[in-house]
Amino acid sequence: MSEALSRFFLWAHENRNLFRILFFVVLVVLVALNVFEKPEHPHVHEEVYPGFWAVFGLGAGVVMIYLIKRIIANLVAFDEDTYDRL
């Protein structure tokens, strides 16, 4: 099992473009499905718009990464052995 899995990971690495395209297709399909499938009891009223959670996930992700890695990380970063010396 280990061998087969190992070969699969190597194969997947070589065909990573295929996976990338698959991923984009899935994204489009998900939003398309959302046009038909709606929540029965929306938690927040914006949920009635198709793709609300897609936008939320993408937006939150981008903003979070930008804020944390570009701004906050610079404020709290010290040398790795800071605590060993302190």
Partner 1 sequence: MTGSSFLHPAAAFLALGILLPFIRGSWWRWLTPIPAILAIYSVFTVAPGDYGGLTWMGFNLSLGRVDALSTIFANVFAIQALLGFIYSLHQEDKRQHIAACFYVGGAFGCVFSGDYLSLFAFWEMMSVASTMLIWLNFRENKRSLAAGFRYFLMHTFGGLLLLAGMLLRYKALGTWAFTPVDPSAAHYYDWLIMFGFGLNAAIIGLHAWLPDAYPEATVTGAVFMSAFTTKTAVYTLARGFAGWEFLAIMGVVMTLYGVFYATMENNARRILSYHIVSQVGYMVAGIGIGTAMTLNGACAHAYAHILYKGLLFMTVGGILYATGTQKLTELGGLASRLPIVCLCYVVAGLSISGWPVFNGFISKTITIAGAFEDHRTLLGIGMELAAVGTFLSVGIKLPYFAFWSKAPDTTRVLKPIPWNMHLAMILGASLCTLQGLFPQALYWLLPYQPVEYTPWTAWHVLQSFMLLSFAGFAFYLMRKTMKPHEQRNIDFDYLYRLVGRGFLFLVSKPVAWLDSIWTEVYARVGLKGLMGGAAASRVFDVSGIDTVVDGSAYTTRGIGRGAAKTQTGRLNDYLAGAVALAAAVLALVWGLR
List residues near partner 1 by CB under 8 A: 1-2, 5-10, 12-13, 23, 26-27, 30-31, 33-34, 37-40, 43-44, 51, 53-62, 64-66, 68-70, 72-73, 76-86
The residue among 17 and 83 lying less far from partner 1, judged by its C-beta, is: 83
49 and 31 Cβ atoms separated by less than 8 Å = no
Least spacing, CB of residue 68 vs partner 1, in Å:
5
Q: CA-CA distances (angstroms) from residue 22 to 2, 16, 36, 58?
A: 25, 10, 22, 18
Least spacing, CB of residue 46 vs partner 1, in Å:
11
What distance in Å separates the CA atoms of residue 86 and residue 12, rounded to the nearest whole number?
46
Q: CA-CA distances (angstroms) from residue 86 to 56, 79, 81?
A: 41, 11, 9
The residue among 17 and 26 lying less far from partner 1, judged by its C-beta, is: 26
Least spacing, CB of residue 14 vs partner 1, in Å:
9
